[in-house]
Amino acid sequence: MLFPPPDHTLVCAGHTHHYAQAGNGAATVMLVHGSLCDYRYWRWQLNGLSDTYRIVAPSLRGYWPAALTHADPSFSISQHARDLASFALGINEGHPVHIVGHSRGAQVALELALAAPDLTASLTLADPGFRLTTEPEAPLLHRDMAALLLGDDADAALSGFVDKVNGAGTWRQMTNWFKTMVRDNAATLLSQATEPQTPVDPAHIAALPFPLLLVGGENSPARYRTRLDALSLARPQAHQVSIPLAAHGMNLANPKAFNRALSTFIENAEMSAQV
């Protein structure tokens, strides 16, 4: 598959969505990226899952290829979830989609699924970046990195952010295409620094009316594993998978294992829906 993938657009509710797509399977899987990323982040899922499913990967509002260059007060999880509700409705003609969210995108995916359960065939949360109401507040990394950006120290901001969420030394080891993507989305950190930080109530997870998959990287920072364990306690029937030989960016570090876990889960969800 070409990289970067061809840019597709869909206008919904007055907003132009940029997205990548691959495959033409009966089930549609929508991939929601996290901080400093865009639809390019899912390159190995667009390539690896398209034999079985129709894969759509939108870039959230404000991200490349229509990236913000300054802080935008309308930037928020809620705005992105509303955008994706319109996108999901338009891209799949009202039929439910399998929603996959990574990191910050996991909270976007969750808010979308809670607001539009009729559009949600299943939900996958990969190393969710949101804080639970049961967790203590912590200093916001985005604000420190935004200050570096404003001080014209972009590489320090970006390397600091990537290393914090994935592990020390990650930025130095990242491929050129990944660093290009992150630099293209650098200014989104200015908006993230001021967006509302709403914690998630585990009770909302317990009440979800569709299958739930919780995915973590074997080597992800401990806060993600602890959060996934708490979500699993809230929803005992949820499936939980650890991707070996991978940290926070598990879909890039070990795409075969990630794709296999996601495919198995979606296949089972599809079979359950047909019973």
Among 74, 68, 61, 159, smallest CA distance to 105 is for 61
Report the C-alpha gap between 151 and 132 in whole angstroms: 32
Return the SS3 of 117.
helix
Structure-block tokens of residue 155: 């590489």
* Domain-embedded: residue 186: no
Domain that holds residue 234: 8-139+198-274
The 10s digit of each residue's pLDDT in 194-224 is 888 899 999 999 989 999 999 999 999 999 9
**Which H, E and C letters describe 55-105, residue by residue?**
EEEEECCCCCCCCCCCCCCCCCHHHHHHHHHHHHHHHCCCCCEEEEEECHH
The 10s digit of each residue's pLDDT in 164-201 is 888 888 999 999 999 999 999 999 999 998 888 899 99
The 10s digit of each residue's pLDDT in 225-274 is 999 999 999 999 999 999 999 999 999 999 999 999 999 999 999 998 88
Reported confidence tier of residue 141, pLDDT bands at 50, 70, 90: low
The 10s digit of each residue's pLDDT in 31-77 is 999 999 999 999 999 999 999 999 999 999 999 999 999 999 999 99
Among 258, 268, 134, smallest CA distance to 212 is for 268
* Domain-embedded: residue 124: yes
Report the C-alpha gap between 202 and 252 in whole angstroms: 28
* Domain-embedded: residue 147: no
Report the C-alpha gap between 96 and 255 in whole angstroms: 25
* Domain-embedded: residue 157: no
Domain count, the chain: 1
* Domain-embedded: residue 180: no
| Residues making up the chain, counted from first to last | 275
Q: Give me the half-sphere count of Cα atoms (radius 13 Å) on the Cβ side of residue 215.
A: 29
Which residues contact residue 89 at a Cβ distance below 8 angstroms, ignoring those fewer than 6 apart?
12, 116, 119
Supply the CATH number for residue 105's domain: 3.40.50.1820
Among 128, 82, 109, smallest CA distance to 210 is for 109
Cis check for the bond before 4: say yes or no (omega within 30 of 0).
yes
Residue 273: what residue type? A
Return the SS3 of 271.
helix
Mean of the per-residue pLDDT values of the chain: 93
- Check residue 140 and give its pLDDT: 66
